[in-house]
Structure formats: structure tokens, C-alpha cells
A and B are shown apart, each in its own frame.
Chain A
Amino acid sequence: MSDGELVAGMQAGSADAFDALVERYRKSIYRLAKAMTQNHDAAGDLSQETFVLAYRRIRQLKNPESFGPWLRKILVNLCIRRSAKIMPASLEDHEIESPESPSADAERNMVRDKVRNAIMELDPAERTVVLLYYMEGMKQTQIADALGCPVGTVWSRLNSARCKLRGRLADLIS
């Protein structure tokens, strides 16, 4: 079933439709929340809250097919509002994702950490744009819509972030 059909079902009052949408988007939303906060608890909390708000505002969604971007928009707004309350990354978070760390994974984890740190060092506005663009594969117009800013601003933030990241991750990129 497409997003549009599920959203229509949800608007008509089907709990199964909402469950299916949660099922479909929860990993993606969690990942984005985790990337934005680097905190497992906060990511879980924010992602759940995103679905709660989506449920409450489902009637405001004019274009059912754009449920995904709309959901991310809610998450981004939540993250921005809550950013002051969210604690920084903790070491335990890293243990969650790789319970057993064989040596083959060690290098990959190191690369991941480096990329994450580079992203976290970005200015929050740039970080948001970078994550939406690269991690979520959103188009610049969708990001502009989600953030409520002109496309030009998205473009300039993206460019600026890209330059910084290329500098910080030069050894990995080359």
C-alpha cells in the first residue's frame, strides 16, 4: 500500500493504517533523530513524539503522498525546540548498536564516529540540512519546506556544510 492510501485510511480512522505507517517510517525517523541528537534515549523519545504529533495533525496533511517529508518536518521542528533540553552523546549509545565488536567492525565504527563527530561539530542549522539531504535523501525544495526557509538558504547552508565536511573528512574522502 502506498503512503497516500495508508494516510487516507488513517484519516478514516484505521488504527492498522497508522500502525503500518509507524512501522514503515520508525527506523528512518529514529535514525534521523539519533543523527541530530547523538543520544539514543532522546532519539527514541523524539521519534515517538513525532508519530504522536503526526497522529494528532493528520487532518492537516493536504498531500497524503508527502507523508514522509511531512513527518521529518515534524521531527526537525521538535529537535529544534528541544535541542536545549537534550543531553549530548553518551558512550553507552555506541555500545547499543554493536553488542559484539569483532575486529572487522572496529575500523568501520571508527569511521562512523569520525563522520558523526564531524556532523555534530557543524552549526545546528547546517547539520539539519546535511542530514535531511544526505541521510534522508530529501530534495532541497522539500528541506526548504520543512524548515520554512527559502531554497537559496538551504543551498547556501548545504554548500557551507559540505566545504567544512570535506575539510574535516578529507582523509576518508580521498
Chain B
Amino acid sequence: MKFVKFLIAGTLFGIVMAKSEALSWFRIQEMFRFQSFHMYGIIGTAVTLGIIGVYLIKKFKMRDLNGNPIEIQLCFFQKKKQPKDI
């Protein structure tokens, strides 16, 4: 049951990728040929809101559903960060 929320989040993600056409090879070609703003708009909006949100999460030291401090963990960074951060 604890995975249901991830299933819902994933479903929402799949719908967004399809409805935004971001998964279309045509849209990606259009982006790399600099012939439309569409993909840049999607990535730009997501990253701009993401930067603001992550800043606020850190500023207000927000916590997740389990009560742990929220931090972005990417496997690439985990390796390097752990010794220094602890």
C-alpha cells in the first residue's frame, strides 16, 4: 500500500509527458533545431519553479511525510558528499 502514492505520481508524470508532447521525437528534433520555444518553455518553467521551491524547502527546513529533512539525493552526489557532510 505504501507504494500507491508513487504509482499515482508516476501516472500523473506519464500523462504530463504525453500531453506536453515532451516525449515526442518530433518535439525533441524541433528543440535541437531551435525552431520552437515549446521544449525550452517546459524545461525552463520546471527548473525555475524547482529552484524557487528547493530554495524555500531549505530556507524553512521543510520535512517530508516521514518527518525527515528534505534533501535532493542523486546517486552521483551521495558518493561524494557523505564523508564531508557527516
Task: Say whether A and B bind each other.
Answer: no
